[in-house]
Amino acid sequence: MSEISVGIIGGAGYTAGELTRLLLNHPSAAIAYSQSESNAGNLISSVHQDMIGETDLKFTADYDQEVDVVFLCKGHGQSRAFLSEKELPGSPKIIDLSHDYRLKEASEGFVYGLPELNSEEVQVAHKVANPGCFATCIQLGLLPAFDANAVQGDVSISGITGSTGAGQSLSRTSHFSWRNNNTSVYKALKHQHILEIVETVVQLKPDFGDQLLFIPYRGNFARGIITTSHFKTSLSNEELLECYSNYYGSATFTHVTDQNPDLKMVVNTNKAIVFPQVIDGTAVVISVIDNLLKGASGQAVQNMNIMFGLDESQGLNLKTLAY
């Protein structure tokens, strides 16, 4: 097929920066414009400085060019407002990286874009809601168990995320002087990503009536997410490992291991690594991803590849920074 033309709305933030980096090196896509009201006329590399020497593209104020796909990289609540007020020329496909269309009651025709669950739906979708970063990491740790009906009772989850998960806007808890040598709990049992995880669980187990109890932590590092989920199960350690290995046997980016993973195994890649084990009748599942890639922009490009019939890995063969 011909080269995919891409527009980016809200091009100055962290997710847009990662998206731009990926698309500049994508063999089948080209950025037609990156829109940013506050940076219109400025070089993209003046904001995303890792792209100095890689592109002479400038931010635009407009989005009046017809393209094949538009990525919405605006803040939560802003994507819905944008689409309700603006009309994108040419009816492009849309991939939204905000929270606005992830839940079914608010989806307005958007397909929930978790490829390991909804790849067939994404293939024929015109609009895709990219999952949240914590939601992606947690769901990849739970999908095989719920699919095999191996979860008994409530699921307890803890997870820690890097500071980039809070976005580029400054707040007290995103300053270096606060984050450095520091960790804290936030939104205990009330994190917004729980709702989309529950919808996925119900998709796999319609009679689910237990609780997902999630405690998130702010980490003193820039990027990456590690989550631990535990629940009662009747499966043995070998049976649980086989269950996960079979479920992800054909997955492009999600890999099952019998070794305890760490963040450096996935940071700067679109990979997810999942480590399931059973300890005295309790399943303990550790999942790790890069919050800006598999948890955001990398997964968005993965969804674009699926929507346009490309190999899922195009533009996403990235090497982790392991040392």
Which sign, positive or negative, has the C-alpha torsion 299, 167, 19, 256? negative
Both structure tokens of 228:
């631990």
| 255, containing H or E segment | strand 254-256
The amino acid that residue 230 corresponds to is H
CA–CA separation, 11 vs 19, rounded Å?
Answer: 9
End-to-end CA gap in the chain: 39
Tell me which DSSP letter residue 293 carries: I
CA–CA separation, 15 vs 152, rounded Å?
Answer: 36
Which sign, positive or negative, has the C-alpha torsion 10, 122, 67, 315? positive
Q: Which of 73, 133, 137, 243 is catalytic?
A: 133
How many Cα atoms within 13 Å fall on the side-chain side of residue 193? 22
Contact by Cβ (8 Å): 112, 131: yes
CA–CA separation, 252 vs 297, rounded Å?
Answer: 16
CA–CA separation, 122 vs 128, rounded Å?
Answer: 7
| 133 included as an active-site residue | yes
- The residues that are catalytic are 133
